[in-house]
Amino acid sequence: MKMYSYQMTEQGKEFTLNSQEFPDINESEAIVKVAGCGVCHTDLSFWHSGVKTKHPLPLTLGHEISGTVVMGSNEWMNKNVIIPAVLPCGECDLCKRGRSNICQSQKMPGNDFDGGFATHIKIPSRYLCEVSDSVLKKFPLEHLAVIADAVSTPYQVVKKSELEKNDLAIIIGVGGIGIYAAQIARVFGGKVLAMDIDDVKLNAIKELGFENVLNIKGMDIKEIKTKVKELAKNAGTSPYCWKIFEMSGTKPGQELAFNLMTFASSVSIVGFTLDKLEVRLSNLMAFDSKLIGTWGCKPELYPEVLELVAEEKILIEPFIQPFPLSEINQVFKNTLEHKYSKRSILLPDNN
């Protein structure tokens, strides 16, 4: 029996269709028939921006995966699952400290081994997140692929930020992950202020009932800070303890996040960029603030995220757009050119 995948052979080049026989697996592994795999900014960074994968090329990208186990132990056989984007060892010091998302023996699909832009994927089975039949009555399995990263990553960072009820939660960039960060911050009781330079994205978040939105295109940092203080006051939030989430993955977004820092606030960096910026770290000292990094989401939190999606406290359906996997090259080009307003999910053609 054959499995098919689209491999990256050189950065910036078109993906190439590859076929191979099903590989052998051991008792701790499984083969999952892919239902859907989301296209993430990290995939674009590997393909276009010069970021190197840990596994040498050729490599199949894709780490935002849902599917059905078709080979593996009896425990997992025929189960519908979400594959965590970070697969830790579960045994090291970091894992035992509850920091499994940064396990130094972790494996990431589409980075450490062949990923989900394929009909099937071979993966370690320990941390698979089972999707119940009751959830699948509400959502197609392929749509739940976005939970593997786009939804779970902001969930982890909102928890890390110690966001409390009525805290001002500033979301910089409400695209592919920011749209979920805003919803999650609201679940935690935060008063959300959504910022972007794109009215299409801001209008989309307005439709979810978010009233405090701000188009910051063309505004300098001083203007933005003045407007944020005004909106915070009108929303009845404290002028302190702001929780700032940088989701855009841009240099201007990161500069803005740092400059919005105030007393007892936190700045969480979620979006990725290779750009460097110059900041005065002493501001952290003066404001007694926190600068928080985050990497993916530890698998232990996935059931919590899935439950919020199942309860429709986090909406995913309005913000995804499925495409056949065979259109991967065009989808990547269009994504790079910002032609989509929704997150692309690639579905194997023959499944």
pLDDT in tens, 197-252: 999 999 999 999 999 999 999 999 999 999 999 999 999 999 999 999 999 999 99
Please tell me the predicted confidence (pLDDT) of residue 272.
85
Residue 221, Cβ density class (10 Å: 0-12 exposed, 13-18 middle, ≥19 buried): middle
Q: Is the pLDDT of residue 193 over 90?
A: yes
Domains 2-149+297-308+315-347 and 152-293 share a fold: no
| Residue ranges of domains in the chain | 2-149+297-308+315-347, 152-293
256 and 221 in contact (C-beta within 8 Å)? yes
Q: Tell me which of 176 and 257 has the higher pLDDT.
A: 257
pTM for the structure as a whole = 0.94
Q: Which residues of 144-182 are buried (b: 16+ CB within 10 A; e: fewer)?
A: bbbbbbbbbbbbbbbeebebeeebbbbbbbbbbbbbbbb
Kindly state the tokens that stand for 253.
């977004």
Nearest to 175 by CA among 153, 197, 158: 197
* Phi and psi angles of residue 285, each rounded to the nearest 5 degrees, phi first: -65, -50
For the chain, the first-to-last Cα distance in angstroms comes to: 14
Q: Is the pLDDT of residue 345 over 80?
A: yes
- Provide the total of helices (H) and of strands (E) in the chain, helices listed first: 11, 16
Q: What percent of the chain has pLDDT over 90?
A: 95
Q: Which residues of 50-81 are buried (b: 16+ CB within 10 A; e: fewer)?
A: eeebebeeebbbbbbbbbbbebbeeebeebbb
pLDDT in tens, 134-171: 999 999 999 999 999 999 999 999 999 999 999 999 99
Distance CA 232, CA 192 (A): 9
| Sign of the torsion formed by the C-alpha atoms of 100, 102, 103 and 105 | positive
User: The domain 152-293 belongs to what CATH superfamily?
Assistant: NAD(P)-binding Rossmann-like Domain (3.40.50.720)
pLDDT in tens, 26-75: 999 999 999 999 999 899 999 998 899 999 999 999 999 999 999 999 99
Of the candidate CATH numbers 3.40.640.10, 3.90.180.10, 3.40.190.80, 3.40.50.10070, the domain formed by 2-149+297-308+315-347 belongs to 3.90.180.10
Q: Is the pLDDT of residue 300 over 70?
A: yes
Give the Cβ contact number of residue 139 at 10 Å: 17
Of the pLDDT bands very low, low, confident and very high (cuts 50, 70, 90), residue 351 is: low
| Mean pLDDT, residues 8-17 | 95
Tell me how far the alpha carbon of residue 187 is from its chain's centroid.
17
Work out the mean pLDDT of the chain and round it to a whole number. 95
Please tell me the predicted confidence (pLDDT) of residue 176.
87
